[in-house]
Amino acid sequence: MATLISLPRLRQLDIETPANVHTLYSSEHNIRKQLPTVDIVVGSVLVPGDKTPHLITKEMLKLMEPGTVLVDVAIDQGGCFETSHPTTYSDPVYIEDGIVHYCVANIPGAVPSTSTMALTNATLRYAVALADKGWQQACRDDSSLAKGLNIVEGKVTFKAVADVFGLPYHQLC
């Protein structure tokens, strides 16, 4: 699995977040170095169409102080901590090896109106293009829309999905 870390996005987050929030290029070395000093880790990995990699292993929990909190925002894609498993709002946390885990699935569900408005604002132009032009022309006109196709005429056209399910991949022409 290829890992893509957006340095421009990392720089943007450095500018936008408070001074006490520190961003760091994600590597095993950097993660191990920071774990003994942190109070909370928010894991927000996204690999489109694929499971998230485990950035913190069970063995790495020993590097953290008891009571450290792991928040796994990537739990809907399998979780980015090896010890993560989905939790609910009614029972949101569990402790493993002294480390508090918060792995609530579908976090946007806590604010359904706000999350629906945000999703609509981000996707409405695509829906309008599909409605106005039909899916084939809309995808020809907008390569970013075409990248969202997973299956066309029964063939898997998204490589990560084909790989995850062990299906043949067919490149979209």
What would the DSSP string read from start to end of 125-138? Answer: HHHHHHHHH-HHHH
pLDDT-derived band at 160, boundaries 50, 70, 90: confident
Closest residue by Cα to residue 123 from 145, 90, 99, 107: 145
Distance between CA atoms of 95 and 100, rounded to whole angstroms? 5
pLDDT of residue 2: 47
Residue 3 has pLDDT above 60, yes or no: no
pLDDT in tens, 14-70: 899 998 887 888 889 999 999 999 999 999 888 877 788 999 999 999 999 999 999
Give the 3-state secondary structure of residue 76: helix
pLDDT of residue 1: 42
Give the 3-state secondary structure of residue 156: strand
Mean pLDDT, rounded, for 143-147? 89
Residue 109 has pLDDT above 90, yes or no: no
Burial class (CB in 10 A: 0-12, 13-18, 19+), 117: exposed
Q: Rounded mean pLDDT of the chain?
A: 91
Q: What pTM was estimated for this model as a whole?
A: 0.73
pLDDT of residue 51: 83
